[in-house]
C-alpha cells in the first residue's frame, strides 16, 4: 500500500464521504469556535487533509488567505463545486500533500490538520514538513483520532477491513505519543483540549507553536 493507493481509496469514497453526517456536531462546533479564535484577519492559513471542504468553507472568511489541500483529487473536486456555489475571497482548494507543499516557497501563519494525522503513513516526516511550512512562531492546530487510546478490538478489526478495501490506512498512536512526536518535530505544545460532547474523546485538540 502507498500514498497513491490512499488517494484512490478516498477518490472512490469521496461522494459517500460528502453525504455523511458529522457524528458529534456540538463537538465539531466547539472545535470551529476555538480554532476561529486563534486565527487573525491577516493570517495565511493552510489546511491539510481538508476532505470535501466543509471546515474550510466555515473558517476561510475570517482570514486573509486560506489554502485547503487534500491528497484526493476526488475530494478536492467536490470542495471546488461547493466553493463555486458559495464563493469566498481568498479560499482555494488544491490536490496536494504536506510534503509536496513544503518543497515550495510559500509559508503560512497557521497550519490546520483535522482528522488528518492518523491518515499519514510517515507521521514523523509529515510533522517535519508541517514545521517547514510554518513561519517562525506559527501555529499548528490538530484534532485527530488517537487509535492507541481506543478499544483494542478496533485495532484488531482495522487490518482486516483494510485487507478487503473497507478502510484506509490508519496509524496507531496514543495522545501522549502524538504530543511527544509533535514536540520532537520542533514545536512547543501550548494546549491539549477535549471537545467531544458525548462518549470517550480520543481526538485531542492540540495547539502547538513552531519554535
* Interval 11-39 mean pLDDT: 94
pLDDT given for residue 5 in this prediction: 86
pLDDT given for residue 162 in this prediction: 65
- Give residue for cell 488544491: 94
- Taking the CA atoms of the chain, what radius of gyration do you get in angstroms? 16
Provide the Cα torsion 72, 205, 137, 135; round to 10°.
10
* Alpha carbons 144 and 130: distance in angstroms, whole number: 15
- Residue 84 pLDDT greater than 80, yes or no: yes
pLDDT given for residue 169 in this prediction: 84
- Superfamily of chain region 3-210: Vaccinia Virus protein VP39 (3.40.50.150)
Parse the chain into domains and list their residue ranges. Answer: 3-210
* Interval 43-52 mean pLDDT: 98
* Alpha carbons 71 and 48: distance in angstroms, whole number: 9
Which pairing describes strands 108-114 and 44-48: parallel, antiparallel, or unpaired?
parallel
- Residue 157 pLDDT greater than 80, yes or no: no
Of the two residues 9 and 111, the one the predictor is more confident about is 111
Provide the Cα torsion 132, 127, 143, 51; round to 10°.
80
Q: Which of 105-109, 121-125, 156-160, 196-200 has the lowest mean pLDDT?
A: 156-160
pTM of the model: 0.92
Mean per-residue pLDDT over the chain, rounded: 93
Q: Give 97-154 pLDDT, tens digit per residue.
A: 999 999 998 999 999 999 999 999 999 999 999 999 999 999 999 999 998 887 776 7
pLDDT given for residue 144 in this prediction: 94
pLDDT given for residue 3 in this prediction: 85
* Interval 63-77 mean pLDDT: 97
pLDDT given for residue 164 in this prediction: 64
Amino acid at each position: 500500500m502507498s500514498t497513491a493507493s490512499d488517494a484512490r481509496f478516498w477518490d472512490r469514497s469521496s461522494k459517500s464521504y460528502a453525504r455523511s453526517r458529522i457524528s458529534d456536531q456540538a463537538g465539531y462546533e466547539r472545535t470551529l469556535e476555538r480554532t476561529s479564535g486563534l486565527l487573525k484577519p491577516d493570517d495565511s492559513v493552510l489546511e491539510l487533509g481538508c476532505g470535501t471542504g466543509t471546515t474550510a468553507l466555515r473558517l476561510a472568511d475570517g482570514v486573509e488567505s486560506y489554502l485547503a489541500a487534500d491528497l484526493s483529487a476526488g475530494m478536492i473536486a467536490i470542495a471546488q463545486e461547493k466553493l463555486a456555489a458559495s464563493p469566498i475571497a481568498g479560499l482555494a482548494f488544491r490536490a496536494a500533500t504536506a510534503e509536496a507543499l513544503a518543497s515550495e516557497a510559500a509559508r503560512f501563519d497557521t497550519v490546520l490538520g483535522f482528522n488528518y494525522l492518523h491518515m499519514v503513513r510517515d507521521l514523523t516526516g509529515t510533522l517535519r514538513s508541517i514545521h517547514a511550512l510554518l513561519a517562525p512562531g506559527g501555529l499548528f492546530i490538530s484534532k485527530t483520532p488517537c487509535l492507541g487510546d481506543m478499544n483494542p478490538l478496533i485495532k484488531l478489526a482495522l487490518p482486516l477491513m483494510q485487507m478487503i478495501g473497507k478502510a484506509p490506512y490508519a496509524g496507531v498512536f496514543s495522545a501522549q505519543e502524538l504530543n511527544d512526536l509533535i514536540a520532537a518535530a520542533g514545536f512547543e505544545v501550548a494546549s491539549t483540549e477535549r471537545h467531544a460532547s458525548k462518549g470517550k474523546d480520543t481526538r485531542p485538540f492540540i495547539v502547538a507553536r513552531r519554535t
